[in-house]
Amino acid sequence: MKILYIEDSPEHIRTVQRVALDMGHELVTAGTGKDGLTFLANPPPDLILIDIHLPDINGLDLVRQIRRNHYLMPIIALTGDVWTYNEQISLQAGCNGFLAKPCGIETLREVFSQFDSRTAT
């Protein structure tokens, strides 16, 4: 599975990278929303993880832009702001899920398995 992680924190990237590689997935990272958009084609990712607070654009605005461009892959919002309100607006923006940072290794494994067609029953 090809996973795009749009995140500007090297610490969070390392955690996701460790789990993704351990599970045999390809991880592509982008530190800004603009850079993340360049990875949406050729071929598009199977899953997007996105930080809500990016340096150049609000992550939820980026999700809306991705959805306006008719990309249908699952998108999971990750944020340290774990208020119920943020989860609601993330889902309204077009996210398929919402995770709190720091995200545990087992939680990441579960998310990746959920969207991995190799493990689908």
Q: Indicate the domain borders of the chain.
A: 2-119
pTM recorded for the entire structure = 0.93
Alpha helices in the chain (DSSP H): 10-22, 33-37, 59-68, 84-93, 105-115
- The Cα–Cα gap between 65 and 118 comes to 29
- Contacts by 23-29, CB closer than 8 A, 24 or more apart: 23/109, 23/112, 23/113, 23/116, 25/1, 25/112, 25/116, 26/1, 26/2, 27/3, 28/2, 28/3, 28/4, 29/4, 29/5
- Give domain 2-119's CATH superfamily: Response regulator (3.40.50.2300)
Tokens found for residue 117: 């067609």
Q: pLDDT truncated to tens, each residue of the chain (121 aa)?
A: 999 999 999 999 999 999 999 999 999 999 999 999 999 988 999 999 999 999 999 999 999 999 999 999 999 999 887 777 889 999 999 999 999 988 889 999 999 999 987 665 4
pLDDT of residue 81: 77
